[in-house]
Amino acid sequence: MIWGCLAAAVSVPILIAARSPLLQWRQPIYIVGGFAGIVSLAAMLCQPLLVGGYLPGLPTRRGRRVHRVVGTVVVLSVVVHVAGLWITSPPDMIDALTFSAPTAFSAFGVISMWMLFAAAGLALARRRIGIRSWRAGHASFVSLAVLTAVAHAMLIEGTMGMVSKAVLCLLVLIATGKVMADLKIWRSFRGRNM
């Protein structure tokens, strides 16, 4: 049942976006870039479920290995998202990346991208910086990436249906908050520094 709910939460927004009439006037590269953003948001829902060991058949240790693979998918999806939008509209992407765009969703998207890259960078360097520092830093960057990704998605009036997008965003926030609370990441970091 859990796997079925996860499959529905991930696939319904993608299917709704695939049927959107807004796609009729878009270039294929723009569509691929847009769907890469949707895939990235959907994969963000899987990440806390994997690291927390909440998915049947994937205990914590195995779930964390899959978490690394899905994390790579999230990062690559964001790269494809930005590249697709860059190819179809370089001036808009320059405005977004320099925080000169008149739309708030652009700033949230860019902040989310950099926070995600920082989280991935810390994941690659985790053995050098110590597990507690790594965990707190990774969790901080991931939390900011999730919050700004949700804001980015909710402010865009695009191909995703408003209801399915809102439900997916809410599920991402709940799953991320639950794993942060269950793993007591902040408490262990504060306790060590007191």
Instruction: Compute the average pLDDT of residues 50-55.
Output: 90
Residue 167 is predicted with a pLDDT of 95
pTM of the predicted model as reported, rounded to 2 decimal places: 0.89
Which range, of 40-49, 73-82, 130-139, 179-188, averages the lowest pLDDT? 179-188
Q: How far is CA 21 from CA 25, 30, 150, 158, 161, in A?
A: 8, 14, 23, 10, 11
Instruction: Compute the average pLDDT of residues 35-50.
Output: 95
Within 10 A of 7 (CB to CB), how many other CB atoms are there? 10
Contact 73, 43 (CB under 8 A): yes
